[in-house]
Structure 1
Amino acid sequence: MINASEELRREHELIKTALNLLEKIASGIVQKVNPDVSDLTELINFVIVFADKCHHGKEEDLYFPSLEEAGIPNHGGPIGVMLSEHDQGRKYIREMKENISGQNSDLQVFADAAFAYVALMRNHIEKENNILFMMGDRVMPESVQNDLLIRFKEHEEKVIDKEKHEEFYALIERLSQKYLH
């Protein structure tokens, strides 16, 4: 049986590569290396669409409610912490987006927000992978897991189609070749 958490963990791997890219580019900005703004724009679009709308959307709309139904608390519990961190991440995403284009853009503010986002999300992913998902795997029955996988696919098709999904993987690979190798 494949657990729903396995799909979320796979997505975390791609997101972690995007975090490495953000960190590398932000470090370059601090060292006065001007980044390719089109790369930043594409990377922030990936974070907004893939990481937040698609991935966090699966968690918030489908996975977390299933965890609650299985007895894992939201308020005052691990789900509430994850939701709060998603909201904090969105704040950093807005700061990054606002500071890469337009006349009021400030790459140093972008870099600061990128560093904060990277630190938050790395810690967040570790908690989900090593605590919350393991709890979910123990308490959610196979029928719920199977239903979640079907609903994940439906959610993804609504947010991004298969072609856009593949484009995001290709984007992260292309940017990795440019910045991480």
Structure 2
Amino acid sequence: MSSCMSGFGGMPSAELKSKGLRQLKEEHPPLRSQMEGLFSLTQKIDKDIEIEVNFQELITKVKEFQAALDPHSEREEGVLFPMMGTYIGTTSGPIAVMEYEHDQAKAHIKSFLEQAAGSSASPDELKKLAGYIQNAYFILTEHFNKKENVLFPMAERMLSNEEKEELYQGIQKIK
């Protein structure tokens, strides 16, 4: 489904003047940092480096990441996407792709946490479970790039000044 965004790739980048769009973009670096830490742990698990210790740390860090990711996703799904959807629709195209990627990443994280809970699995099974987090990492890395380079600039050009203020006010309500 990611190919749906390719048709929008030729748009020139726009400076984000909207406070709300800037805030959403500024939430990415700390999330990316957490994602890099998660990926690093999965790599240690793959390389048989203190598998059990790193797996337990991975569980803890995934829960922390999920707690940071969920409100960010909610700001987009609950405020930005519907606003943009009034112009470009939500059942196909960029918004549908963004929501699909959110769903996929969340599903991988959920599967990991559900299956990892109280797991006394073998090292190979722990590696397989860590693969859920690797999949989420790859999805979200590409997803963030699409938002920063395509979706946010598109919203900057598309939304009126009043809508940009409404976006900012709306995302402030989600903590």
> TM-score under structure 2 normalisation?
0.80
Q: Which amino acid aligns with 2:94?
A: P
User: Secondary structure in 2 aligned to 1:145?
Assistant: helix
Aligned position for 1:63? 80
Give the deviation of 1:104 after TM superposition.
Answer: 5.2
Give the deviation of 1:10 after TM superposition.
Answer: 0.9
- Within a 5 Å distance, the mapping from 1:22-171 to structure 2 comes to 22-33=38-49, 34=51, 35-37=53-55, 39-51=57-69, 53-69=70-86, 71-103=87-119, 105=121, 106-156=125-175
8 Å CA contact 2:105–2:139 kept in 1: the answer is yes
Give 5+ residue unaligned stretches, structure 2: 1-16
User: Secondary structure in 1 aligned to 2:116?
Assistant: coil
Matched-pair identity in %: 22
**Inter-partner Cα distance in structure 2 for 1:99 and 1:11:** 29
RMSD: 1.7
Q: Which amino acid aligns with 1:65?
A: P
**Inter-partner Cα distance in structure 2 for 1:66 and 1:3:** 15
Give the deviation of 1:91 after TM superposition.
Answer: 1.2
Give 5+ residue unaligned stretches, structure 1: 157-181
- The number of residue pairs the alignment matches comes to 154
User: Secondary structure in 1 aligned to 2:91?
Assistant: coil
Q: Which amino acid aligns with 1:134?
A: P
**Inter-partner Cα distance in structure 1 for 2:22 and 2:141:** 17
Give the deviation of 1:98 after TM superposition.
Answer: 2.5
Q: Deviations over 1:86-135 (max 9, x none)?
A: 11111110122134331355421222111111111000111111001110
Q: Which amino acid aligns with 1:76?
A: S
